[in-house]
Chain A
Amino acid sequence: MAVAAHILAAVDHLNLRYIQALDDLSMEGWLNSFSPAADSAYVCISEENDRRGLPLALMLDDCRARLEDRVTFVTKIWAGTFQPYRTRHFVQRLACEAREEGLCQAVSNFSVTLIQEDGTARLLTTGVYQDVISLTEAGAFIKTRRAVYDANVLPQYFVYPI
């Protein structure tokens, strides 16, 4: 089914809000990309686990309460203990399909560059976002995002979601 141009624009806008929030290290902005529904979810999982049908994830926030807890981890629990870093995210929509009323399904490539204190940049990982997106009057919001990352072995630990 062809997707209307305004829906594609809303999905792209959502993706840009999302990566802008992460690149600004704004966990509030990240949280605000998700639908306020109790079952909104973010799962960050390795390509290996995903391919092999292994359910374990790197971040498994399968309800709104866990998304909010992740904000607490980063901003309160871990504050001051990790080596500060920034990121540059790049995202490119590959596919978008309408689902039932008010929902669409989208797939996008992403790549995340990690920038250390001294400005050195290196690739953190690449991957695919598999999304269910909720379309509302106020704009598009993530209902569920599954970020499947390619790095079989991550080059370092993560603090922020990707």
Chain B
Amino acid sequence: MDMPGDQSVAAKAAWPLIWPRKLNQIPKEVFVSPGLFEAELKTIFHGDIWHPVAHAAELPNPGDFKTFSLGRTPLLITRGADGKINVLVNSCTHRGTQVEMCAAGNRKEFECPYHRWAFEISGELIGCPGMSEFSPDFDKSRYGLARLRSAEFLGVVFATMGDNTPALAQWLGEDMIRAMKVILGDGRLKLLGYQKVRYQVNWKAYNDNDGYHAGLLHTAFRLLNWQGGKGAQFMTENGHMSIMAELQPLRNVGFLKDPSLITFKGQDPAKRASVLELFPIGVMVKHLDTINIRFAIAHSHDCTEVHYAYFAHQDDDEEMLRHRTRQASNLLGPCGMISMEDASIFQRIHIGSFSPGVAEFQKGVKDPYALPVDVAQNDETGQLPKWEYYRRLMNFQRAEI
């Protein structure tokens, strides 16, 4: 596994914290430290890791763009005239002005307002006023918008700022590739829309979503008799995890007057629910007929912004499109029937974490000094390999005793 070297030293210097010897204990300080966040920006968000930043279905036509952020780095993601997707830095190569301000749109070219340098949709510099008076070594071809290395799988666009990030397929691993196929099918999707929200929470708590809480925090899960627990969790040593849940067939116990919210029209009942959490904060979910990619931005140690993007499949008929829209709107987002409580917990974890001691993981722990091997659907141990990866990445030393 690639472990970035020099940045971790910076992390250690910024935060001389000693990690508990037990693998199921996480020091709460890691959720509330502004200094640690700066080190995480370097090592994780700008390091040798892939980050999902868009899906091709968000930019169906040449000239389409969306803006996003990787940590604090502003991105401009575009579909060029050649149909290819470009992940660019949204900063003019002249004096650094933000080039595009809109969340999304379609343009023929980008023009920086400050001195009117113009850029192709794919990022190349077209021209600059007064160029004949520029320095003798000015070479227009070297002043396109900075480009991040990017790769696509099932339409999901991943980007990285690291120089030594492994190939995407290797970074994802077989289990996560399988989970992505369950969630996104063949990846030929159609965008239904967004729910965008900011949570006052550290990104690590946002993405610490365990299998244990589902039937406990979420009353709707209980009402629907969905805590069955026959599914499994899969983890990779580079911090990813997926939950393949096996939900019982739907039993509307009468508390919903409109059961279409929980109707499953898809084909394969084994694929009713899966969650994929890619390190550090990429989340994809399929629940019933809802297909959801959560593009998240770690703004600071105490603010995580999430763009819940929902999709249909390109082959859906009108009825299926409508069904997916109606289900997705009310089921899984920041005010969805079975997920609103998560949002509330995020903020309460953050408030509670300004306190000494550790966050404990217990459900499913067989040996506190070893990483779990088998993790059941309702265990919280699925988070532990991710925490161990994070600890090593940030170079925190474990206590001797």
Contact = CB atoms under 8 A, between A and B. Distances in A.
Interface of B is mostly: mixed
Nearest to A50: B193
Contacts, number: 117
Given A58-B329, A60-B329, A69 B257 contact: yes
Interface residues of B, number: 41
A81 B342 CA distance: 9
B310 A56 contact: yes
A153 B67 CA distance: 13
Contacts of A153: 196-198, 305, 307
Contacts of A120: none
B255 A82 contact: no
B93 interface: no
Interface in A123-162: 152-159
Interface of B: 103-104, 191-200, 217, 219-220, 223, 255-258, 261, 305, 307, 310, 321, 325-326, 328-330, 333-335, 337, 340-341, 343-345, 347-348
B325 A55 contact: yes
Given A55-B325, A68-B257, A48 B103 contact: yes
Given A69-B261, A153-B307, A155-B198, 4 more contacts: A48-B196, A56-B325, A60-B325, A69-B337
Interface in A44-87: 46, 48-49, 52, 54-63, 65-66, 68-69, 72-73, 76-78, 81-83
A119 B330 CA distance: 29
A54 B104 CA distance: 13
Contact of A158 (B223, B256, B334): B334
A152 B104 CA distance: 11
A54 B217 contact: no
A57 B329 contact: yes
A63 B192 CA distance: 20
B310 A83 contact: no
A60 B261 CA distance: 10
Interface of A: 46, 48-49, 52, 54-63, 65-66, 68-69, 72-73, 76-78, 81-83, 152-159
A152 B192 contact: no
Contacts of A54: 191-194
A23 B4 CA distance: 52
Nearest to B220: A77
B335 A158 contact: yes
Contact of B199 (A78, A152, A157): A157
B256 A72 contact: yes
A72 B200 CA distance: 27
A153 B196 CA distance: 5
Given A78-B341, A81-B341, A60 B330 contact: yes
Contacts of A46: 193-196
A73 B337 contact: yes
B217 A69 contact: no
Given A48-B194, A56-B329, A82 B199 contact: no
11 contacts: A46-B195, A52-B104, A62-B326, A65-B258, A69-B258, A76-B219, A78-B219, A83-B348, A153-B305, A154-B334, A157-B197
Contact of B195 (A55, A56, A76): A56
Counting from the closest, the 4 A-B pairs by CB-CB distance are A56-B193, A54-B193, A157-B343, A60-B329
A63 B347 CA distance: 32
